């Protein structure tokens, strides 16, 4: 299970499936006083947002978790083909840029003593119009 784009590589960290939003598009709706109905002006599609949850784990301290998040976010704007692999099956998204990792919760210490300090969050990407 890995997600890669440029220098970004999730390695052995657990992650979910890429959630692809529908492509964005321009939509203008106009109506006029005294006239029944409305006028719709629709543009071509643009890019779309891609997200995925990621669990960063195995850190020796709370401070090292913060350093790990900082290092991951230092790779913001890495671009190219996003590859999402699970069980040997790869899905690719061309013309994609990494927009960063946002923790969804405070870092916590695994009580079993196996996984160290960890934090779960959301990886964000943007795919250009196809």
Q: 8-55 pLDDT, tens per residue?
A: 999 889 999 999 998 888 888 999 998 899 988 888 888 999 999 999
Q: Is residue 34 situated within a structural domain?
A: no
> Considering the domain boundaries, does residue 31 fall inside one?
no
Neighbour-count burial of 125, counting CB atoms closer than 10 A to its CB (0-12 exposed, 13-18 middle, 19+ buried): buried
**H/E element, 64:** helix 62-73
pLDDT of residue 21: 93
Q: Cα–Cα distance between 125 and 92 in angstroms, integer?
A: 13
| pLDDT of 46 | 87
pTM for the model stands at 0.84
Total of domains in the chain: 1
The DSSP letter of residue 13 is: S
In this predicted structure, what is the pLDDT of residue 90? Answer: 92
E strands within 1-130?
Answer: 2-5, 8-9, 14-15, 19-20, 25-30, 39-45, 48-59, 79-86, 89-103, 108-109, 117-127
Residue-wise pLDDT tens digits, 89-124: 999 999 999 999 999 999 999 988 889 999 999 999
Report helix, strand or coil for 90: strand
40 is a domain residue: no
Could you tell me if 52 and 3 are in contact, meaning their C-beta atoms sit under 8 angstroms apart? yes
Domain that includes residue 66, residue range: 2-20+48-127
Residue 1 above 80 pLDDT? no
Q: Is the pLDDT of residue 130 over 80?
A: no
Residue 8 lies in a domain: yes
Tell me what pLDDT residue 87 has. Answer: 85
Q: What is the pLDDT of residue 74?
A: 96
Q: How far apart are CA 33 and CA 38, in angstroms?
A: 10
């Amino acid at each position: 299970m890995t997600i890669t784009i440029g220098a970004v590589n999730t390695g052995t960290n657990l992650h979910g499936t890429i959630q692809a939003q529908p492509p964005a598009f321009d939509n203008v709706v106009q109506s006029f006083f005294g006239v029944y109905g409305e006028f719709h002006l629709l543009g071509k599609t643009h890019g779309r947002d891609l997200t995925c949850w990621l669990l960063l784990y195995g850190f020796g301290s709370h401070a090292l978790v913060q350093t790990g998040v900082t290092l991951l976010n230092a790779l913001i704007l890495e671009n190219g083909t996003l590859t999402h692999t699970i069980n040997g099956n790869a899905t690719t998204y061309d013309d994609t840029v990494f927009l960063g990792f946002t923790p969804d919760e405070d870092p916590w210490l695994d009580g079993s003593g196996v996984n160290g300090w960890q934090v779960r969050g959301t990886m964000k990407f943007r795919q250009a119009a196809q």
